[in-house]
């Protein structure tokens, strides 16, 4: 099975920054669109950011001025740089890819923004 390993979550105060990472040995990231989603308690899972195979990126309106998605194809790693974090960003963050019609998800990493 395809397995993603996520890291970088944690506790940060409002206005702080975190950088999330997601990697896998089972899929070449360079040729796929890669996504970051998040899910806060009691809320639907939300698409946060996407990076396409040509490295164009798209963002949800709530994060587009604060988050940056990137990819390192040599290390087969997806990143999400999160700046100016606010309490409403608190959620479990998941990397995601659609491959051959199937959805693959990372295990999730908790981001908590609190003073």
The full length of the chain comes to 115
Print pLDDT tens along the chain (115 aa): 788 999 999 999 999 999 999 998 888 888 899 999 999 999 999 999 999 999 999 999 999 999 999 999 899 999 999 999 999 999 999 999 998 899 999 999 999 999 9
Which of 115, 114, 104, 100 has its CA nearest to residue 6?
104
Q: Please report the pLDDT score of residue 18 as a whole number.
A: 98
Cα(58)–Cα(60) distance, integer angstroms: 7
pLDDT of residue 81: 98
Instruction: Please list, in sequence order, all residues whose beta carbon lies within 8 angstroms of the beta carbon of residue 14, skipping any fewer than 6 positions away.
Output: 85, 86, 87, 113, 114, 115
Close Cβ partners of 90 (under 8 Å, ≥ 6 residues apart): 40, 111, 112, 113, 114
């Amino acid at each position: 099975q395809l397995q993603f390993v996520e890291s970088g979550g944690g506790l940060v105060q409002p206005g702080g920054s975190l950088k999330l990472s997601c990697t896998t040995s089972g899929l070449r990231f360079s040729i796929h669109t890669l996504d970051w989603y998040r899910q806060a308690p009691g809320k639907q899972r939300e698409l946060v950011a996407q990076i396409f195979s040509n490295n164009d990126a798209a963002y949800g309106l709530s994060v587009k001025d604060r988050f940056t998605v990137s990819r390192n194809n040599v290390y087969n790693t997806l990143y999400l740089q999160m700046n100016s974090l606010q309490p409403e960003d608190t959620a479990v963050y998941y990397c995601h890819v659609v491959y051959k019609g199937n959805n693959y998800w990372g295990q999730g990493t908790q981001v908590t923004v609190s003073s």
